[in-house]
A and B are shown apart, each in its own frame.
Chain A
Amino acid sequence: MKKFELIEHTADMGVAAYGKDLAEAYANAAYGMFSIIAEVGGFKEKETRRVEIESDDKESLLFEWLNTLLYYFDVEGLVFKRFDIIEFGEKKLTADCTGEKYDPKRHQIKRGVKSATFHMLEVDEKKNRVQVIFDV
């Protein structure tokens, strides 16, 4: 099964992500987001950060999850490519995110992502599918 597909939007870009369960769909949405930012294949699994998110509902949880990962990219230059979900519920997500710090000499960055947005954001529990549009 494919992890995610890109959604076209006039000014911005989005991803629709899938999984065998919702937790995997959230992980794949994160993978999709970093695929918009970088050639993820060129990054190694070197460093791990434990990310804990609490939110009011599953949509806000997705928004907060992705934006927290963007914070790590901005501050530490970390491009994550593996997401091991430790705990997952409607209002809580804990994950170990693994990747490598961006090094302009070795890695290719494609474009910046400013933020996930709530516009057209969807969490489909029956299909284990999530969708999000980014401000690029």
Chain B
Amino acid sequence: MPKWGGKLEKVDEFRWRIPKNYKVGMRVDGLVYADEGMLPHLLDEQALEQVANVAFLPGIVGQSLAMPDIHWGYGFAIGGVAATRVSDGVISPGGVGFDINCGVRIMRTNLTKEDVAPKIKTLIDALFNAVPSGVGSKGVIKLRAGEIDEVLVKGSRWAVEKGYGVGEDLETTEEHGEMKNVDTTKVSGRAKERGIPQLGTLGSGNHFLEVGVVDEIYDENAAKAMGIERVGQIMLYVHCGSRGLGHQVADDYIKSMMQAMPKYGIQVPDRQLVCVPVSSNEGSAYLSAMRGAANYAWANRQCITHWVREAFCRVMGLSPKEAGLELIYDVTHNIAKLEEHEVAGKNERLCVHRKGATRAFPAGHKDVPEKYKAVGQPILIPGDMGRMSYILVGTEQAMRETFGSTCHGAGRLQSRAALKRKLSGQDVLKDLEARGIAVRAGSLSGLAEEAPEAYKDVADVVRVADGAGISKKVARTRPLAVVKG
């Protein structure tokens, strides 16, 4: 892999600038959130070139942003945020990614590690059996003819109406799990064909279910608002996305935009950054289809949540109420959204692309649920299988600097092939068990590729996000048991 030899200027302890004079065609500077320790790796790959490339997008405002978990992606870097004017800017499916609305949610419980630890093996087996996972897995949900369109329009609400979960879940899901303005005719037949049998499946790769235990609380007030009361409390995580339906939507629109882009006179330095004006027919068709795929992903996580609750309650011998299984929040980290932000002193309507980045809205923002109005929107940052995960809240600083965005995870360090040369799935399994983490995986080889060594230490990522003020730490959890797809 070639080293990156571009221009990078230190702004302060947590911020680095790629000046727009680095490359002819950059419309704005790049701004990278990182500390000194992260630099050697960053300069070792091409993620920063991708940050510079995104700065070419017509109508981009502020800076081309990279969150501290940035790593080399395709087109956009993973951890990239770019906001374009709706009036004369573009939308790029590459700035959302193939797994549209890949995201994560956390449920709190009333239980502690002492309650759960003796049953952890039974619990992880029950979770593994309750949620179809792995490559090629099919769900148990049978949709009526045409019902997929209802899923695309209603998202999480479709699932709740079908009995998967409770109404309160919608209150604590970003967008209530239901983005508006979906025209289901903009989602192709192929996308629907892929989506129908996969609804209610976890998928593979880095998707997971986790039983975590609260390890440290940094902000008691915010933690209390989320129902996080003490160290030792059990939390449940779900991480997955829109499956083949989302992948097909991305494919379809990358292809159609490739044909349409020349007529708008747009040129991009990497074809994966293909884009069209937000307000064009092709742009609004993509937005409509992308929202449908996002709603599908929310319905997917909502169905999975229901089965996780059932399995947990059955193993623990409790009712959902006794177990206190409330959804703290659900965030998306692959999305484009039309939002209002202040740019150079005035309010502008922007298309905010978050590619491996999380929304981080502050206390008081109209889109933050009532119960979090005083503390800010919860942000859920899963780490790798062996280390910590973090819960944070959004800040005013994020609104000023990053269009209300922050990091989304640990960020990959090592390629899959490099890892497999070093580690077998058995090695990883043994290592995790030695650390007291129970694991069930669909594929042992997949497990090796997701070994903790593959990732940056999420603690470093969160230290930078918190230090720069674009989100604030609330609590930390560590894994007790993990189901990998």
Interface of A toward B, CB cutoff 8 Å:
6, 8-13, 37, 55-56, 59-60, 63-64, 67, 70-71, 73-75, 77, 102, 104, 109-112, 114-115, 117-121, 133, 135-136
Contacts and interface: CB of A to CB of B under 8 A. Distances in A.
6 nearest interchain CB pairs?
A: A119-B74, A118-B271, A117-B74, A8-B415, A119-B272, A112-B204
Interface of B: 1, 45, 47, 71-75, 78, 94, 97-99, 134-136, 190, 193-194, 197-198, 203-205, 244, 247-248, 250-251, 254-255, 258-259, 270-272, 274, 412-418, 443, 445-446, 449
B164 to A, nearest CB: 23
A8 B71 contact: no
Most chain A CB inside 10 Å of its own CB: which residue of B1, B134, B272:
B272
Contacts of B75: 117-119
Given A74-B194, A114-B205, A115-B250, 9 more contacts: A8-B416, A75-B194, A75-B244, A111-B204, A111-B443, A111-B445, A117-B98, A118-B254, A119-B272
Contact of B71 (A10, A121, A136): A10
B136 A8 contact: no
A115 B98 contact: yes
A70 B413 contact: no
Given A110-B445, A112-B135, A60 B255 contact: yes
Contact of A11 (B136, B254, B258, B412): B412
B415 A13 contact: yes
B48 to A, nearest CB: 13
Contact of B244 (A8, A55, A74, A136): A74
Contacts of B205: 111-112, 114, 136
20 contacts: A8-B1, A8-B416, A8-B417, A9-B72, A12-B416, A55-B255, A60-B258, A63-B251, A63-B254, A71-B193, A74-B244, A102-B136, A104-B136, A109-B443, A111-B443, A114-B247, A119-B272, A121-B272, A133-B74, A135-B98
B271 A59 contact: yes
A112 B97 CA distance: 15
Contacts of A109: 134-136, 443
